[in-house]
Structure formats: C-alpha cells, structure tokens
Amino acid sequence: MSYEIQDFEKQVIERSHQVPVLADFWAPWCGPCRILGPVLERMAAHAGGRWELAKINTEENPQLASTFNVASIPAVKLFVRGAVADEFVGALPEREISRFLEKALPSPHASQVEEAQRLLDEGAHSTAAELLEQVISEEPGNLGARLSLARALLGLAPERIADVLAPVQPDSDQAEKADALRALGRLAQLSVQPNQLPEAKVRDRYLAGATAVQSGNFEVALAAFIEVLERDKGYDNEGAKQSCKAIFQLLGMRHPIVERNFRAFSSALHS
C-alpha cells in the first residue's frame, strides 16, 4: 500500500477532520527516513482506523515543507481537525512512537470519559463505572478511561483494579498514577479484610485510613495515615508513608486536599 500523498489539502487537512493523520515528511536521500518509513507504515497497517499515515516527499513538495517549518527530516506531524496537534523529529524506535501516539491521539470517547470523571467527582461511582466499562470495551487502549475506572472501583470492586490496569506499561506516561491506584486498591481491600494487618496500637487508625480510601474520602484518609506516620512509621512496611504518596500522586500536588495536608505529611515523615 502506498501512503504517498497526491493532494495534501484533501488527504491530510480535510481528512484530519474525520480521522487523525500522521504526516511523515521525508526524502529518498535521507538515511533515517528510510529507517523510520517502514516502521510508520507497519504501525499504520495495524492502527485499526484510529489514525492514518500520509507520506510527503520534501524533494517533490518543497513548498509544503517550508509552510510547515520542516527544517530537518524525518519530521512527523500529527494533524487533528486541520491543524498540527503534536510532532517529533528523527527516527524514533517503535516503542517511542507508540508512546507519542498514546499521548497525542485524541480519544473518540473523550466526552464520555470527561462525563465519567464528573460523575466520579460527584460520588456517583457506579454510574461512572458503567460508562467507563463501555468506553473500554470499545477502546481497550484508552488508558485514561482505565485509570478513571480503577478509581471508581476503589469503592465497588477493588480486587478488579489490578486487571483493569494491567495494560498500563511501566514506560507509559500513566504508569505512576496506575501504581498509585494499585496501592490504593490494596488498601481498599484491607478495609474489608482487616485480619491481614498485624496487631499494633496504630492498627485501628490505619484501618480508618484504608476505609476512607475505599469510600473515596482522601482527606480523612490522609489525616489517619499522617497520624499513623507520627506514631509508627514502620507499620505495614511503611504503609502510611506509601499510602500518602499514592494519594498525592493520584490527585496531583496542586489539588486542594494535597495542599492542605502535605506540610503535615512532611513534618510527620521527618519527625
């Protein structure tokens, strides 16, 4: 199959309003271009219609190269709704290109994931989970939907979180949040299996934190874990510290709950 364009306006600009188009600016004399080209073609053949490839020979289309500021080749630009949404230069390995696409490609279910996130914020976890399950069934590679579903499952079925997050690879941009949700999933399970925790004076407070995680009340959870951290840093293999860090990672350091509790966490950690 030939991916060389004949009409840039039609095959790239207009087409990108229907499906994202990955434009590969290349030239026959360019060694890295000859390495990258077959990789992109192979990936396009297995893209399942989520994006399409268009190859632009800069020797034959110098004006296009100038219009899109192509100073070095290979230059790859992702067109979405008629404009460049993201780009990279050079012959990246396939794994790096996959990461680029994972981050740059718009999801066809973006509005549904956004609605599910709103439902989560309002505490409607079951409704959000149903919506997210549908998105994932239609778009298994939507990692954002998987993360949101894992958060919903904290209070519904935390034992499922590991399976839901299995496709999130260690080199993914979402890996840290996935790790945080796995850690919080363990806590949510502990809230209904308290006998798995060792006896200690801080056990009840630790379980209170785990129960708060299970119900989605991260402020209460942080208060409990910070208290455990002050009294027994080593309990549950430093579980209080790791639990606080997981909540911080999940919410983000600029979240109001994190901002209100981070100083107390830091003080307890270093006391």
Q: Which residues are catalytic?
A: 30, 33
Can you tell me whether residue 252 is helix, strand or coil? coil
Contact at 8 Å (CB) between 168 and 227? no
**CA–centroid distance for 83 within its chain:** 23
How far apart are alpha carbons 71 and 65 in whole angstroms? 8
Other C-beta atoms within 10 Å of 111: how many?
9
Helix (H) or strand (E) holding 192: none
Q: For residues 218 and 33, what is the distance between their CA atoms, to the nearest angstrom? A: 50
Cis? peptide before 74, omega within 30° of 0: yes
The Cα–Cα gap between 268 and 206 comes to 15
Answer yes or no: are the C-beta atoms of 125 and 188 closer than 8 Å: no
Using an 8 Å Cβ cutoff, are 237 and 271 in contact?
no
Q: Where would I find the beta strands (DSSP E) of the chain?
A: 21-26, 52-57, 75-80, 83-89
Query: Which residues are CB-neighbours of 227 under 8 A, at least 6 positions away?
Result: 202, 205, 268
Helix (H, G, I), strand (E, B) or coil at 41: helix
